Amino acid sequence: MDVLQKAFELISKYPLCDHCLGRQFALLGYSMENNVRGSAIKIILTMQANDLAKEKNVEGVNQLKVLATNGFSREAQETLKHLKNRLPKTPDPKCYLCEGKFELVDSLTEKSLAVVQGYEYTTFLVGIEVPVQVEEREDEFKSVFNTGYGESIKHEFGRLFGKALAKRSGKEAEYLTPDLVVVINPFEEKLHLQVNPLFVAGRYRKLVRTIPQSKWFCSSCRGRGCEKCGGTGKMYPESVEELTSGPLLEATLGEKTAFHAAGREDIDARMLGTGRPFVLEVSRPVKRFVDLKAIEAKINAEAVGKVEVSHLRFTTRDVVRHLKKGEGSQKEYRLLAEFENELSDVALQTIENQFSGASVKQQTPLRVLHRRADLIRERYIYKVKVRKVSPKRALMEIHCQGGLYVKELVSGDEGRTIPNVSDLLGNKAKTLKLDVLKVIMD
């Protein structure tokens, strides 16, 4: 392809600014912007035309006129004047493809800086929106004049704004997980800011048997507030979610938080040991460079005796996905079981022998059937230790695969958990107290 000839063919048909002409050859030559490509082409074409026009060649003069009008070339305009030719009249021409919007890159960059002002961030991404008719026009243009070396107008705008914003803000453009996304529509001269969430991971211990993990809406009013819930909209005044998220929300000035955890304990079970992994997701945080040690201390001071957090650290959305899947997790429980009849030493030994290294088939427990699908799951038990604490009571320590419902392992849940402690001993058992001692993620 003769680049000059092709380029001249394009601007003979349509007015094209340096950016839009150069963009049709974007893949040719490295380390230069499209406007430099476009300008270089126009200058060479002007020199060629000047050479011809000196001999009063009509083609040469025409070429200068096209460059001076459709090419917006100041050099061609000056050359025409110098050759004593009249400048052709043009009724306020605009670039056919960009409508002159590349001239707004600097001013819209300043506007973008104003929009992100006040937000703490390390990385950003620029998103470009263009009206449908602009994209259609470019597609049509390409279908007629395809050079095979072009890039899209969106792509060019994105790169230019990205570079300009990086330079002005001193921050880094990042594609996968930017803190902020500035969406710019250069044609409507509009922009808006998308603030991506902040993720903070940690572990919590729950020291009491009266607090649910997450905020639990009132079953009568579903959160609106009624007589039954005293206008709070909640079944319980506090939750692990609320106790941990308050100080974080305060420090980040976010809109709201979402609580993600690796499984959940029952409301009446404590969560002890090293705690359960969780992630707090803060929507639209203004501050990101927060002192997690100080937030941890504040949470622990406010929730003292109820909930304790540790190991707070910044994390990513991927970790939330991993937590929620809970694959490969293991749990250690301690529970106090009460039996209908007295326990023999042989019975204790039988429990340890039969359940250590056993697989349990468990149909979704009756008590959670209203919110979980009715399925049979198979879960592995690594080890069970039993100690009698009174004639009818025993403490059991169970180390098992995550997802096993241990209360049902004891009761049998009307035959829905097989095998189970009650059937094995022929002695009906129930759980009086339950603690989670350990949550192990792989």
Active site residue ranges: 266
Which CB, 97 or 198, lies closer to Zn ion? Answer: 97
3-state secondary structure of 227: coil
Q: What is d(CA 428, CA 423) in angstroms, rounded to the nearest whole number?
A: 7
Identify the CA nearest to 361 among candidates 329, 395, 326, 408: 408
Helices 34-53 and 3-13, axial angle in degrees (round to 10):
90
Residue 32 DSSP one-character state: -
Q: What minimum distance in Å lies between the beta carbon of 96 and Zn ion?
A: 7
Q: What minimum distance in Å lies between the beta carbon of 222 and Zn ion?
A: 8
Binding Zn ion by CB under 5 A: which of 218, 261, 279, 429? 218
What is the footprint of Zn ion within residues 12-31 (CB under 5 A)? 17, 19-20
Which CB, 194 or 220, lies closer to Zn ion? Answer: 220
What is the footprint of Zn ion within residues 220-279 (CB under 5 A)? 220-221, 226, 228-229
Residue 287 DSSP one-character state: -
What is the footprint of Zn ion within residues 87-126 (CB under 5 A)? 95, 97-98
Q: Which x/- pattern over 329-368 shows residues binding Zn ion (rule: CB under 5 A)?
A: ----------------------------------------
What is the footprint of Zn ion within residues 383-402 (CB under 5 A)? none
Which CB, 19 or 260, lies closer to Zn ion? Answer: 19
Which CB, 24 or 252, lies closer to Zn ion? Answer: 24
Helix/strand/coil (H/E/C) assignment for every residue in 23-65: HCCCCCCCCCCHHHHHHHHHHHHHHHHHHHHCCCCHHHHHHHH
Q: What minimum distance in Å lies between the beta carbon of 19 and Zn ion?
A: 5
How far from chain centre, in Å, is Cα 357? Answer: 40
* Number of residues in contact with Zn ion under rule CB under 5 A: 12
Instruction: Return the structure tokens found at 154.
Output: 């969106």
Which CB, 230 or 357, lies closer to Zn ion? Answer: 230
DSSP letters, 387-408, are EEEETTEEEEEEEEETT--HHH
Q: What minimum distance in Å lies between the beta carbon of 402 and Zn ion?
A: 33
Q: Which x/- pattern over 39-78 shows residues binding Zn ion (rule: CB under 5 A)?
A: ----------------------------------------
β-bridge mates for residue 182, sequence order: 126, 193
Q: Cβ distance 19 to 99 under 8 Å? A: no
Q: What minimum distance in Å lies between the beta carbon of 112 and Zn ion?
A: 20
Q: What is d(CA 385, CA 238) in angstroms, rounded to the nearest whole number?
A: 34
Q: Where are the beta strands (DSSP E) in 44-189?
A: 123-128, 172-173, 180-185
Beta 330-339 vs 257-261: how paired, if at all? unpaired
Positions in the binding site for Zn ion (CB under 5 A): 17, 19-20, 95, 97-98, 218, 220-221, 226, 228-229
